[in-house]
Homo-oligomer: A and B are copies of this chain.
Amino acid sequence: MELRIDRQALVPVVQQIVDALAIWIRQDAVEPGTRLPSIRQLARQNLLSQASVHEACQRLVAQGLLASRHGSSFFVAPAVSDAGATAEEAWLPGVSSAPADPTHQALKLGCGGLPESWRESDDLGYAIRQVSRTDMAGLFNYGPPLGLPALREQLSRRLKQFEIDADENRILTTTGALHGLDLIVRTLLPPGCCVVVESPGYPKLFDLLRLHKIDMLELPRTSRGPDVDALQCLLAIHRPSAIFINSTCHNPTGSNLIPAVAQRLLQLARKHAMLVIEDDVYADFQGATRARLAALDAEVIYLGSFSKTLSSSLRVGFMAAAPSVIARLGEVKAITCMGGSRFAESVLAKLLANGAYRKLAQRQRQRLNADMAVALQLLEDADWKVFGKPSGGLFIWARPPLCDYAELQRMARRCGVQLSSRTRFSPSGADTDWLRINVAYARDPKAQAFFRATALDRPQVS
Q: Provide the bound-state CA to CA distance between A27 and B182, in Å.
A: 35
Contacts of A336 in B (CB 8 A): 178-179, 182, 208, 211
Contact in complex: A88, B141 (CB < 8 Å): yes
A4, closest chain B residue (CB): B133
A1-34 at interface with B (beta carbon < 8 Å): 4, 6, 8-12, 14-15, 18-20, 23, 27
Interface residues as binary, A320-353 with B (CB distance below 8 Å gives 1, 0 otherwise): 0000000000001011111111111000001000
Q: How many copies does the complex hold?
A: 2
A354, closest chain B residue (CB): B15
A181, closest chain B residue (CB): B336
Q: How far in angstroms is the closest Cβ of chain B from A177?
A: 9
Chain A interface SS verdict (over half): helix
A11, closest chain B residue (CB): B126
Q: Provide the bound-state CA to CA distance between A140 and B314, in Å.
A: 7
Contact in complex: A84, B139 (CB < 8 Å): no
A114, closest chain B residue (CB): B140
A142 in contact (CB, < 8 A): yes
Q: How far in angstroms is the closest Cβ of chain B from A165?
A: 21
A130 in contact (CB, < 8 A): yes
Contact in complex: A337, B134 (CB < 8 Å): no
A231 in contact (CB, < 8 A): no
A132 in contact (CB, < 8 A): yes
Q: Provide the bound-state CA to CA distance between A8 and B126, in Å.
A: 11
A232 in contact (CB, < 8 A): no
Q: How far in angstroms is the closest Cβ of chain B from A21?
A: 11
A312 is contacted by which of B59, B124, B140, B182 (Cβ under 8 Å)? B140
A140 is contacted by which of B116, B175, B179 (Cβ under 8 Å)? B116
Contact in complex: A139, B311 (CB < 8 Å): yes
Chain A: interface size category: 35 or more
A383 in contact (CB, < 8 A): no
Contact in complex: A91, B149 (CB < 8 Å): no
Contact in complex: A59, B136 (CB < 8 Å): yes
A113, closest chain B residue (CB): B142
Contact in complex: A84, B179 (CB < 8 Å): no
Q: Provide the bound-state CA to CA distance between A338 and B204, in Å.
A: 9
A206, closest chain B residue (CB): B335
A125 in contact (CB, < 8 A): yes
A413 in contact (CB, < 8 A): no
Q: How far in angstroms is the closest Cβ of chain B from A335?
A: 5
Contact in complex: A128, B125 (CB < 8 Å): no
A47 in contact (CB, < 8 A): no
A258 in contact (CB, < 8 A): no
Q: Provide the bound-state CA to CA distance between A62 and B116, in Å.
A: 33
Contacts of A178 in B (CB 8 A): 336-338
Contacts of A18 in B (CB 8 A): 354
A58 is contacted by which of B133, B138, B208 (Cβ under 8 Å)? B133
Q: Provide the bound-state CA to CA distance between A137 and B59, in Å.
A: 11
Interface residues as binary, A295-335 with B (CB distance below 8 Å gives 1, 0 otherwise): 00000000000010001111100000000000000001011
Q: Provide the bound-state CA to CA distance between A12 and B11, in Å.
A: 12
On A, residues with C-beta under 8 Å from B are: 4, 6, 8-12, 14-15, 18-20, 23, 27, 51, 58-59, 61-63, 83-84, 87-88, 91-93, 116, 119, 121-126, 128-130, 132-146, 148-150, 175-176, 178-179, 182, 186, 204, 207-208, 211, 307, 311-315, 332, 334-344, 350, 354
Q: What are the nearest 6 A-B pairs in CB distance?
A: A84-B149, A62-B134, A88-B144, A313-B342, A10-B122, A128-B132
